[in-house]
Structure 1
C-alpha cells in the first residue's frame, strides 16, 4: 500500500491542514501588540485562519464519507486532522482572550510559549510532508521533537506561575496572567496530542 509513488489525497489534505495551522501560529508569533486597538484586527485575522481550518476539516470529512478505501484507518486520518486543528483553535481562542481583557502586556514567558508552539507546528508540517512520501518511520523524530518542546513549555509554565504568585499583588492582573499562561500550556498539550497521534499511526501502519 505504501510503495505507491502516487500522491494520496488524504495525506495531501492533512498537509494542507498542517500548513494552515503553521500559517496561523506564525502570524500569532509575528504580530505586534502595541495598543488595545491592535487586538481587534489581530483577532479578526486569527479568526480567518481558524475558519479556513474548519473548512478544511469539513472537506476532509466529506472526502472520507465518499471514499470506500483509505490509505490508513479513516478514524486515524480524522483524529490527526482534528488534533492539528485544535492547536490553531487554541491560538485563536487565546488571542481572543487578549482582546476580551484588553490585554497588551506580552512578556518573555508568553513569547517563549509561542516560540516552542511554533517549532512544534513546524515539526508537524515536516511529519505530514513525510507522510505524503509514505515515510512513516521518518515521522517519529518529528513526534519526539514535538514532545520535547512540550516539556519546555511545562518548565515555562511552572516558572512563570511561580514568579506570578511571588510578584503580582493585584488580584485582577494575577487572574488574567494565570489564565493566559494556562491557555498557552493547553496549546502545548494540543501539540503533544498531535505527536501522540502520529506515533499511533506509525505503530499501526509502519
Structure 2
C-alpha cells in the first residue's frame, strides 16, 4: 500500500457499517411479510421505506465526504461504487416488498421464504465484513460465502420461475409475481456486486 502523507477521513468505515446494518434490519422486516396476513403488510412495507430513506442518507453522506475529503481510505471511484451497490441492495428489497402490497398479492409464492433466508444471510455476512475494511484483512471468507449464497439464490430463482410458469396461473398474476421474485433476485445480485467491489479494493490496496 502506498505511503499516506496526510490523515485519512476515517468516517467512511462507520458509514459503510451503518449502510450494511440497515440491510440486516431490512431483511428482518422482509421475514415479517411471511408472518402477517395480507391486510397487515402495509406497515412492513412502510418500515422498509423508512430503512430505505435511512440508507439513502448514509449513501449521500458518503458521497458528500468523498467530495470534501483531500485523502480517502481508498480510491474515490471504489468508495462511490461500494456505496452505490450497498444502496442497490436496499432499493431492490424495498421495491419488491412494496410491489407485494401494491399488487395486492394474496398467497405469497412458494420459495419466497427461502429467498428471504438467503438475503438475510447475505446481509449478516456483509455487515460483519464492513468493519474489516479498515485493515482489509480476513475478507476472503466473506466474498467466497457471498458468492456461494448468490449461486443458491440463482438456483432458487430459476426454480421459482419454473413453478410460476408451469402452474397455469392467470397471465397477469404471473407478471406480478415474476416482478417480485425478480426484484429479490436483483437484491442478491447487488450483494454479490458489493462483495466483488470489496475484493477488488482488497487486491488493489494490498
TM over 0.5: yes
Shift of 1:64: 1.5
Give 2:153's aligned residue.
Answer: 153
Correspondences of 1:135-174 after superposition (within 5 Å): 136-174=136-174
Question: 1:93 corresponds to which residue?
Answer: 95
Q: Offset of 1:174 from its aligned partner?
A: 1.8
Superposition deviation, residue 33 in structure 1: 5.2
Q: CA RMSD in A?
A: 2.2
| Separation in 1, partners of 2:173, 2:32 | 24
* 8 Å Cα contact 2:33/2:44 also seen in 1: yes
Q: In the superposition, relative to structure 1, how do residues 105 and 33 fare at CA in structure 2: closer, same or farther (>3 Å)?
A: farther
Superposition TM-score, scaled by structure 2 size: 0.90
> Could you tell me which residue of structure 2 aligns to residue 195 of structure 1?
195
The equivalent residue for 1:67 is 69
Conserved? CA contact 1:17–1:56, under 8 Å:
yes
Cα offset for 1:31? Answer: 4.1
Quick check: 174-183 or 91-100, which moved more?
174-183
Where does 1:73-88 land on structure 2 (aligned, <5 Å)? 73-88=75-90
Find the residue that maps to 1:58 and give its secondary structure: helix
Bigger CA drift: 103-112 or 62-71?
A: 103-112
Other-structure match for 2:184: 184
For structure 1, which runs of at least 5 residues remain unmatched after alignment?
none
Shift, 1:111, TM fit = 0.8
The Cα of 1:7 is off from its aligned counterpart by 9.3
- Please state how far the C-alpha of 1:105 moved relative to its aligned partner: 1.8
Deviations 1:91-132 (A, max 9, x none): 110011011111132244111111111111111111112113
Q: Provide the TM-score with structure 1 as the length reference.
A: 0.90
Deviations 1:134-165 (A, max 9, x none): 1x131121011111101001111111111222
Q: How many residues align?
A: 203
* Unaligned ranges ≥5, structure 2: none
Post-superposition offset of 1:47 = 0.6
Q: Give the conservation status (yes or no) of the 8 Å contact 2:32–2:44.
A: no
Q: Distance in 2 between matches of 1:104 and 1:80?
A: 36
Deviation sequence 1:32-74 (CA, Å, 0-9, x none):
4533332221221111000001111111122122210011112
